[in-house]
């Protein structure tokens, strides 16, 4: 199956890329995909999205096919061929 991971804002700047397209054996969860991507990025992704206790930071947002998902759903949502995962910081502004 083919999945796309999109990176926004400071993720794009720090990782030096705006997306990754992977061909993987499925099925896999969003959490599984994040771990695979982290391996391909030499551990850089998890440093950006996890907190000190190993959980995911609350100010990081995820969306699958433009539908926002909560951190509690990362291990429950099964990805399918063609899915797009977006990783983005919380919106900010003034």
Query: Residue 31: pLDDT above 80?
Result: yes
In this prediction the pTM is 0.91
Residue 93 reports pLDDT greater than 80: no
Number of structural domains in the chain? 1
Say if residue 92's pLDDT is above 90: no
Q: Which residues pair with 59 in a beta bridge?
A: none
Would you say how long the chain is, in residues? Answer: 94
DSSP 26-71: S-EEHHHHHHHHHHHTTTHHHHHHB-TTSSB-TTEEEEETTEEE-G
For residue 94, being part of any structural domain is answered with no
* 3 state DSSP class of 11: helix
Alpha carbons 22 and 78: distance in angstroms, whole number:
15
CATH of the domain at 34: 3.10.20.30
32-83 per-position pLDDT tens digit: 999 999 999 999 999 999 988 878 888 899 999 999 999 899 999 999 999 9
Q: Which domain holds residue 6?
A: 2-89
CA dihedral 60, 75, 63, 72 (to 10 degrees): -50
- As a whole number of angstroms, the distance between CA 14 and CA 23 comes to 24
Look at residue 84 and tell me if it is in a domain: yes
């Amino acid at each position: 199956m083919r999945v796309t991971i999109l990176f926004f804002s400071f993720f794009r700047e720090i990782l030096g890329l705006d997306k990754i397209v992977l061909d993987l054996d499925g099925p896999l969860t969003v959490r599984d995909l994040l771990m695979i991507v982290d391996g391909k990025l030499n551990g850089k992704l998890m440093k950006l999205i996890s907190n000190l206790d190993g959980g995911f930071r609350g100010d990081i947002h995820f969306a699958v096919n433009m539908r926002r998902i909560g951190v509690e759903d990362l291990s429950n949502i099964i990805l399918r061929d063609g899915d797009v995962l977006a990783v983005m910081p919380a919106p900010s502004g003034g």
